[in-house]
Structure 1
Amino acid sequence: MPESKSRWIALLIVLFAPLLSVIDVFIINIAIPAIRKGVHATEAEVQLVIASYLLGYAAFLITGGRLGDHFGRKRIFLTGMLLFTATSCWCGLSGSALELNIARFFQGVSAALMVPQTLSYIQLLFQNPEDRAKAVGWFGFTLGVASIAGQFLGGFLTWFHFFIPGWRLIFFINLPLGIISLAGAFRYLKETGVNASSKFDIPGVVLLTVSLFCLIIPLILGREYGWPWWSWAILLSSALLFFLFFKNQDRKRLRGGAPLINTDLLKFRDFNIGLLCVFCLFVFHNTYLLISTLLFQNGFQYNPFIAGKLFVIFGIGSTISSLYSGKLIGRYGKKVVLAGVFFLFVSIGAQLFFFSSDHYSQPFIALMLFIHGAGMGVAIPSTLNVTLKSVPAEFAGAASGLYSTFQQTSSALGVSVIGGVFFSVLGKYADRLHYEQAFKAAGLCELLTLLILSVLLLIMPDSPGAAVHIGE
């Protein structure tokens, strides 16, 4: 087979990793009410269905990339895909909320093994800038398709009755796709060179994982149990653990080791501001997906299929706008991100006003979701660009890993905190009025998050030059 053709076949195979990982985020969103009924989950356990996946993903993402360098990217891609397929089936077979959340954590870990290999293969297979740009374009297109497919399948599978409950099918659907990807990788994917000298920061991974759990778990469970003393004790311990983690990382850097996070990155002011922007954006994003689907299905009484079709409009808006944002960011810089944030302000503001009255309809909701999706499609890739654009080349890999880890952690934190506000206002009520009130309270928190994001963008340097080094 000609090498030019085999490269594109290899790309098609490795794109299954981001396809499945993103489908799993959006398909869960629509299926949350059905999952809650299926495993008799509490509100906190529902939050953990989302957060546990993100925690596993965040804690092992950087290590997943290093494993590919050390053992070979094909081997780690196959391992990650096999584990992702197996843990997806475990999720589908779960008999309790606890078992499901444990399986979701390991599903996130397996995603962290396979997804970094996709980006590495794109870099290695496509050395020509023009071909690489096309490959990255297909990567972005895959993410858009995954978001649309996940919304649609989540609604379709959970609404129409099959011999297997629909919420279980949303996990089992990964089985045939995983088998196709594994077969293609065995047949067509070539092993890359290995770097046996690469090192792993196992203590760093353990310390980061424990720190994240000590932050997220009490935020979710503490609210449900009335904030007992142990929830505050664990929260305080998370602050100490994070302090020890960064001290540990800095010590390894000074000794010439291989820390999980290169703390030299924190000396670049614009990169720090960019990480805070990422924090606000993804706290906002994943929380909105949770609270809106609960409002539409439990409050407005839309069935999952209708809710899924409405969120497909969200995915279409996001996919279309993301195609143009990359072309505009080079010319207009952070103004593009601000434009995306403006769309989000308009969408959330209109939803808060109209969803608390009787002046809304499915076409209106579809319009709001399209505007919302368009805003996210502009904001997400543009924030990535303005955050990483000034990072020196020697820090590029470390910066990308830290960015992705921060993204997943922020998503989990948003679901924990603003999701907690939603459930606190909702209380034990299940009528439309209380769902609207809960959405309004959480939506105001979302608007505050967008306001902070806007301020951060305004103070962020907008020049394409070198990063601003703290202390210079």
Structure 2
Amino acid sequence: MFIVSSSIFLAVIDIFIVNVALPSIQKGIHATNGELQLVIAVYLLGYSCFLITGGRLGDYYGRKKIFLAGMLLFTISSCCCGLANTGLQLNTARFFQGVSASLMTPQGISYIQVLFTDTNARLKAIGVYGIIAGSASVIGQFLGGLLPDIHFLMEGWRLIFFINLPLGIVALAAALLFLPETAANKTQRFDYGGVALLTPALFSLIYPVIQGRELGWPAWSIFLLLLSVALLLLFRRDQQRKLARNAAPLMDTRLFHFRDFKIGLYATIFYFLVQEPYFFVTGIFFQNGLAMHSSTAGIYFVFQGIGYVIASVISVKLIPVYGKKVLQSGILIMIISLLLHILFLTSPQTPPVSIALILFAYGLGCGSVLPSLLAWSLKNIPHHFAGAASGTYYTVQQSAIALGAGITGGVFFYAAGNSPVLPDYVHAYRIAISLSIFLLLLTSICLYIMPDKTR
């Protein structure tokens, strides 16, 4: 369980460790705001574009082989990130870091789907998986604030990437020695055509959302958005045709016959349009708006992470008893906390204890939703759909996070304007948080209509 969870630990820590360190990275490589958004978004772009591919490769070649390949490439690309000197170099390495994460992460959840065939046992196992991911967010936020202040032979922000080297080596060694291999299924051809359609479709959707605002929405950005719609429709038609003739499509569209899985994907989209962008804009607001030191911001985010871990542990036990009510309660706590963000966190005079408590409350809400949302969406998926289901779920999740970084981040920077001062940051932050509240309300609607029974 710990070996397969190492993939999600590293994948998540490299999202959250970057959030708090972004201002230090911006100064170190003289990046623009658009390049700063890309530090997060291109990682998620590479991650989301190849997650379904990663899941299917595990089914086709064996999960252990793909897990090891992904972990090795992740470690190497992390070192490349730490050696970068320009925004282009860093974001190129971040993209391949995301691609390698997409190879190793689906194998973890697929192993759980295969090894835990009992529904309740699977819910608990996925809950543990979510707790480990939450722990990564706590550690990442703390280290993201701490490491930029450490200058030993190099700029401190580079350490946030080099720290993956020893972690990756340990994970590789443990997986090589102890992780069991699963049977490879090569009875049908791998769907390379599906990859060739889905990858540019997701790229054409996410990239212009991130870059279009800063460049004034040039014609190519509008063209790419329209192209993404056409490619996604073509991909759907292609997958349905291949399924009809038993040709092993990249995305098994039979998954969408499971109503709870389908509604869970909608809830996932709305929720993750909020989850990661919250840390992005709050980290920028704390440091650039309130002139908060990076280590101080990192410590505040640790309180959010502590709340997340506590709620995750509790929610794993409550979900089998109370079902989706746990998730609905978590969304309500998040909304109340975000209202408190608008009322109190936008003032430099807010006491540190109040800031910590508000972020702790937000973490309690996140911890009640995030691990259980995954478990609830996959609870009725048969184990032979494991690779396809996990790849599809995480593709939707990471695409939503990447889009959220572009949408919410774009709204924040647009509202702040050029050369912003504190009142501009406050105005922009309130707008961004209000958008997050609206998206959480949409999430709550999806949870309301989601089936509450385990079949």
* Shift in Å, 1:123: 5.4
| Unpaired segments ≥5 residues, structure 1 | 1-10, 466-472
The answer to whether the 8 Å contact 2:145/2:299 transfers is yes
Instruction: Give the TM-score normalised by the residue count of structure 1.
Output: 0.90
Match of 1:333 among 323, 334, 348: 323
Match of 1:415 among 396, 405, 411: 405
In 2, Cα distance between equivalents of 1:182 and 1:141 = 21
Q: Which residue number in structure 2 is paired with residue 263 of structure 1?
A: 253
* Shift in Å, 1:188: 3.7
Q: Which residue number in structure 2 is paired with residue 348 of structure 1?
A: 338
SS class of match (2:212): helix
Q: Which residue number in structure 1 is paired with residue 102 of structure 2?
A: 112
Q: Which residue number in structure 2 is paired with residue 470 of structure 1?
A: none
Q: Which residue number in structure 2 is paired with residue 44 of structure 1?
A: 34
Q: Which residue number in structure 2 is paired with residue 375 of structure 1?
A: 365
Q: Which residue number in structure 2 is paired with residue 279 of structure 1?
A: 269
User: Bigger shift: 274-283 or 51-60?
Assistant: 51-60
Aligned residue type for 1:436? V
Whether 1:81 and 2:76 are equivalent positions in the alignment is no
Instruction: Give the TM-score normalised by the residue count of structure 2.
Output: 0.93
Q: How many residues end up aligned between the 2 structures? A: 455
SS class of match (1:76): helix
In 2, Cα distance between equivalents of 1:108 and 1:396 = 21
Whether 1:181 and 2:167 are equivalent positions in the alignment is no
In 2, Cα distance between equivalents of 1:269 and 1:179 = 41
The answer to whether the 8 Å contact 1:77/1:114 transfers is yes
Q: 1:396 to 1:136 in 2, by over 3 A?
A: closer
Aligned residue type for 1:199? R
Aligned residue type for 2:391? G
The answer to whether the 8 Å contact 2:75/2:165 transfers is yes
Q: Which residue number in structure 2 is paired with residue 225 of structure 1?
A: 215
Residues 22-55 of structure 1 deviation map (CA, whole Å, 9 limit, x = unaligned): 1111101111111112222111111111111112
The answer to whether the 8 Å contact 1:151/1:312 transfers is yes
Residues 45-66 of structure 1 deviation map (CA, whole Å, 9 limit, x = unaligned): 1111111111211122222233
User: Bigger shift: 33-42 or 419-428?
Assistant: 33-42
The answer to whether the 8 Å contact 2:60/2:190 transfers is no
In 2, Cα distance between equivalents of 1:129 and 1:218 = 40
Q: Indicate the RMSD between aligned Cα atoms, in angstroms.
A: 2.3
In 2, Cα distance between equivalents of 1:175 and 1:270 = 39
The answer to whether the 8 Å contact 1:298/1:430 transfers is no
Aligned residue type for 1:418? T
The answer to whether the 8 Å contact 1:27/1:170 transfers is yes
Match of 2:236 among 246, 250, 262: 246
Q: 1:73 to 1:276 in 2, by over 3 A?
A: closer
SS class of match (1:15): helix
Q: Which residue number in structure 2 is paired with residue 29 of structure 1?
A: 19
Residues 136-179 of structure 1 deviation map (CA, whole Å, 9 limit, x = unaligned): 56534422321111111111101233321111111011111112
Match of 2:355 among 365, 372, 390: 365
The answer to whether the 8 Å contact 1:355/1:436 transfers is no
Whether 1:72 and 2:58 are equivalent positions in the alignment is no
The answer to whether the 8 Å contact 1:40/1:97 transfers is yes
Q: 1:232 to 1:69 in 2, by over 3 A?
A: closer
The answer to whether the 8 Å contact 1:356/1:436 transfers is yes
Residues 309-344 of structure 1 deviation map (CA, whole Å, 9 limit, x = unaligned): 111111110011011112222222222111001111
Aligned residue type for 1:42? T
Q: Which residue number in structure 1 is paired with residue 187 of structure 2?
A: 197
Q: 1:164 to 1:198 in 2, by over 3 A?
A: farther
* Shift in Å, 1:122: 4.5
In 2, Cα distance between equivalents of 1:143 and 1:357 = 31
* Shift in Å, 1:422: 0.3
Q: Which residue number in structure 1 is paired with residue 299 of structure 2?
A: 309
In 1, Cα distance between equivalents of 2:293 and 2:393 = 36
SS class of match (2:201): helix
Whether 1:100 and 2:90 are equivalent positions in the alignment is yes
Residues 82-118 of structure 1 deviation map (CA, whole Å, 9 limit, x = unaligned): 1001000111111211221111111111111112233
Q: 1:424 to 1:130 in 2, by over 3 A?
A: closer
Q: 1:243 to 1:277 in 2, by over 3 A?
A: same
The answer to whether the 8 Å contact 1:159/1:303 transfers is no
Match of 2:416 among 419, 426, 429: 426
* Shift in Å, 1:347: 0.8
In 2, Cα distance between equivalents of 1:237 and 1:230 = 10
* Shift in Å, 1:358: 4.7
The answer to whether the 8 Å contact 1:344/1:376 transfers is yes
Aligned residue type for 1:177? L
Aligned residue type for 1:117? Q
Q: 1:122 to 1:147 in 2, by over 3 A?
A: same
Q: 1:446 to 1:154 in 2, by over 3 A?
A: same
Match of 2:7 among 14, 17, 21: 17
The answer to whether the 8 Å contact 1:66/1:198 transfers is no
Q: Which residue number in structure 1 is paired with residue 140 of structure 2?
A: 150
Q: Which residue number in structure 2 is paired with residue 324 of structure 1?
A: 314
In 2, Cα distance between equivalents of 1:383 and 1:181 = 27
In 2, Cα distance between equivalents of 1:377 and 1:133 = 15
User: Bigger shift: 94-103 or 124-133?
Assistant: 124-133
Residues 183-240 of structure 1 deviation map (CA, whole Å, 9 limit, x = unaligned): 3333444444333325322121221111111111111211111122222122111111
Aligned residue type for 1:441? I
Match of 1:164 among 134, 154, 163: 154
User: Bigger shift: 309-318 or 431-440?
Assistant: 431-440
Whether 1:139 and 2:158 are equivalent positions in the alignment is no
SS class of match (1:224): coil
